[in-house]
Amino acid sequence: MSPLASKLHDGLGDRSSRLDSHRQVERRAWVRHECRLGTFFLTNSGAEVCYSGTIRHISRGGINLVSSRTFEPKTPLLLLLKTVVEARVVHASASSDGKWALGCAFIKELAEEELDCLLGDRPPAFGLRIGAEERGSKNSTS
């Protein structure tokens, strides 16, 4: 170790080892997936105002939602994903482009199948999916 590095290390004391051990510990319960999903949402306050946003990260436990508006922690939200999902704001931080990054926790965690469906890994297990061939054949018979 160089003399300068040694001085820096000595100056940090045991703080350096705490930082190293903190970096190695992953505290998240679920794997976080990067995505870019547009969504609409409302607060669960009774006001009939619909907001739009973009989901940047999603896991079975929650999302990171970019919005033009901030919300206080604990604000309940109704998110339109493939179905309506209830969540609450955990934290909000301003970004350099004037938007807000909202960390939100789902009230009921998503099943693995629901998450896969949102990420495009599987077809939805609910609702109807009509392919182009089926649409064409239905139109030709009516």
In the prediction, which pLDDT does 63 show? 94
Domains and CATH numbers, the chain: 33-122 (2.40.10.220)
What's the rounded Cα separation, in Å, for the pair 92 and 101?
A: 6
Q: Is the pTM of this model over 0.75?
A: no
Q: What is the pLDDT of residues 19-55, one digit of tens each?
A: 444 445 546 566 778 888 899 999 977 777 899 999 9
142: pLDDT strictly greater than 50: no
> Poorest-confidence range of 37-41, 51-55, 59-63, 116-120?
116-120
Give the count of alpha carbons within 13 A of 20, CB side only.
Answer: 7
Q: What is the mean pLDDT of residues 99-104?
A: 96
Q: Residues 104-112: contacts with CB within 8 Å, 24+ apart?
A: 104/62, 104/63, 104/64, 104/65, 104/77, 104/79, 105/61, 105/62, 106/60, 106/61, 106/62, 106/63, 109/30, 109/60, 109/61, 110/60, 110/61, 110/85, 111/60, 112/60
2: pLDDT strictly greater than 80: no
What's the rounded Cα separation, in Å, for the pair 21 and 129?
A: 48
Which of the two residues, 47 and 11, has the higher pLDDT score?
47
Which of the two residues, 26 and 77, has the higher pLDDT score?
77
